[in-house]
Structure 1
C-alpha cells in the first residue's frame, strides 16, 4: 500500500478519513470499525509517516487541501 500523497492516503484509509474529521477518539474509531484502539493507532501512524506529518491537525489539513478533501 504505497501512499506517497494525500489522495493515496484517503484511498487506502478511506474508511477512517471522513470520520477522522468528526473528532472521534482512537477508541471511538476502533469501536466504529470493530478494531482495537491499537490497530487504529497503527493505521494512523502509518498514514502520518506516508504523508510526512506528525499530528491529527496536520492530517486534517492535508485531507482538506487534497482534491475532494473530506474535512471541513
Structure 2
C-alpha cells in the first residue's frame, strides 16, 4: 500500500441498523471509526446523490496517516 494513499467514496447517513445491508451510520460515528487511522479531508453530505438517496449519503476523502 502506498504511504500517501487515499480512499474516496460514499457512506450511508441514516441511523445504524442491525438488519441490512445497507447498514447506516452517522457522521459522528464515522469520525470515531476512521480518525485514528486516516486524516479526514472531506466528510460531508453528498450533493449529487440520486433522488432516492438524497441527504442520506456522505461523500468522503480520507488519507492514510
TM-score interval w.r.t. the shorter chain?
Answer: 0.3 to 0.5
More strand by share: 2
More helix by share: 1
Look at both structures and tell me which one has the larger radius of gyration over its CA atoms: 2
TM-score, length-scaled by structure 2: 0.34
